[in-house]
Structure 1
Amino acid sequence: MTDTLPDRLSTDPRSKFHDAAVLERGIGIRFNGEEKTNIEEYCISEGWVRMPVGRSLDRRGQPMTIKVKGVVEPYFLDATPEA
């Protein structure tokens, strides 16, 4: 397995950007300098993350999400994050 992260990754198995092998390895995300644990999807090149909004669900039973723009820094959890 390579040590490069995909530009775009989603935790939703229905998404074409879902990669189970990468997610099993463990991904950490630093968004605007803060560690985030509730990210549903991210895109490095476009600079956004998608995170759930409260406890509300959509009509398919999935969490409602909001897209927030900023600096996205993903890393593998088994590697030491750069400070």
Structure 2
Amino acid sequence: MNTSSPQPPLPDHLSVDPRSPHHVAAVFEHDIGIRFNGKERSDVEEYCISEGWIKVPSSKTKDRKGQPLKIKLTGQVEVFYL
């Protein structure tokens, strides 16, 4: 994406949802990778490194606002810039 601007430090808790208080738009200007329990994941919508969890969307199930339901998985979370 944009490699000319410096990369901000990766937060401990990050969400892709712009309505979330844990959304940091500056981080999404760069490509980031998430490794969960040793495997790279591309479907993570929210993570917390210190608590050791990620949230991924459930299959086709939606909540009452039409957003996909998320499943919380616990394990070792590693986040890095690509």
The TM-score, its normalising length taken from structure 2, stands at 0.87
CA RMSD after TM alignment? 1.1
Q: Which residue of 1 aligns with 2:57?
A: 52
What stretches of structure 1 move > 6 A for 4+ residues in a row? none
Q: CA deviation at 1:3?
A: 5.0
1:22-69 Cα deviation digits (max 9, x unpaired) = 012121100000010000100000000000111211111111001110
**Contact map agreement 2:7 2:27 (CA 8 A) in 1:** no
Q: Which amino acid aligns with 1:55?
A: K
Name the counterpart of 1:66: 71
> 2: CA distance between counterparts of 1:27 and 1:60?
28
AA paired with 2:70?
T
**What TM-score, normalized by structure 1, do the two folds share?**
0.86
Long gaps (5+) in structure 2: 1-5
* Matched AA of 1:44: I
Q: Tell me the percent identity.
A: 56
5+ residue gaps in structure 1? 78-83
Match among 36, 42, 55 for residue 41 of structure 2: 36
